[in-house]
Structure 1
């Protein structure tokens, strides 16, 4: 039994290592194909703060967000908070193809340490990307972390959305969105949102309300 368990663990580790090698470049290529074969519309804020901001988007909308960030910042300087699960490590590798750094964390493990690292990053002048309903949901529910970061650092929150004309939806908890090539992509970035002075639940409601304005059901 022990030998069988050891073989299974070895096989799993080998498959994960292979996945980390193969899947990120394939994912990055897929993102580029979708983007460059689609018609784009960008709806950007009138004023883009020079100070670092927190840009927030639903976990299921993550795929094309680097391109919206490029329009927001001509020179990318951001770390995206990603889960430390296997799929999170794949996403982190994909983000590197788009010149974005990552901070690994979890809603359950090392949460305080990750939150402190993110706040230090903001104070050092780097934007932070976060999925308020990640890494494991519930879908379309805002966790406390984004409010804590914004209020403790004074950083504004800017909400990102991407609405494709046609897409595939994965059967994952977040109904992950994969836009189909040769469609239309409507990108939205909100005006900066100031959460200072708001109670926790009220601040979360503000963020959720803005995120839901262009969310896919």
Structure 2
């Protein structure tokens, strides 16, 4: 009983609040620029809803940035690690739905659709929580199709960053790093995609994200583009 209570304290309070404090502390030092924001704003100004799609590798600064897009929801797995992220996201104002492809996914989709009908946007790590890296899993396409909302590939690139030895080579921008947040053109998912259409849509989103990340990361090698963006 004591062990269970202590574990609950760790996963529900200590880890989420400590982690969130560090996230906010680091995020406050970043010099952020938003690129191609019209791809997001044109949808929002028209009263539309959207899914922000990104790699799991770079959700660290996105957790605080996208919290400014309230009301916003996300699906997080029911694992212990997911519990930490879910608690931190909830504290930031996200509406967290628990579930995954292996457990509770159907009910999670129903809940997300209900929230979207209430005006919520959706944030989604396309290859989480366990990879493979860069592979767009079915959940993203199902959310967009089921809730009838466009996918907006959203990337975050830090000029100076730590890279961890995890399955996704998880990245955390270093303190005082320049940071680019970039939105790609929206991808609309039709209700009926025909035979093979679902897999083709997954491949299309994956290729878009890959190209967007590579092009944005390349900015840090081009002094002229850095000066254009940051002045």
Smaller-chain TM-score bracket: 0.7 to 0.9
| Range with bigger deviation, 15-24 or 94-103 | 15-24
**How far off is 1:66 after superposition?**
3.4
Contact 1:137 1:173 survives alignment (8 Å): yes
Determine whether 1:205 maps to 2:203: yes
Secondary structure of 2:136's aligned partner: coil
Could you say which residue in structure 1 is the equivalent of 2:78? 84
Which structure 1 segments of 5+ residues have no match?
1-8
| 1:33-182 correspondence runs (5 A) | 33-43=25-35, 44-46=37-39, 47-49=42-44, 50-69=47-66, 73=69, 76-182=70-176
Unpaired runs of 5+ in structure 2? 218-231
Count of residues paired in the alignment: 206
8 Å CA contact retained: 2:11, 2:83: no
1:10 shift after superposition: 5.7
Contact 1:84–1:105 (CA under 8 A) maintained in structure 2: yes
What TM-score do the two structures reach when normalised by structure 2? 0.80
Deviation at 1:176, TM superposition (A): 1.6
- TM, length-normalised to structure 1: 0.85
Q: Is contact 1:56–1:160 with CA below 8 Å preserved after alignment?
A: yes
Is the Cα contact below 8 Å between 1:77 and 1:100 reproduced in 2? yes
Distance in 2 between residues matched to 1:138 and 1:119, nearest whole Å: 26
How many Å separate the matches in 1 of 2:173 and 2:8?
26
TM-superposed CA distance for 1:180, in Å, is 0.7
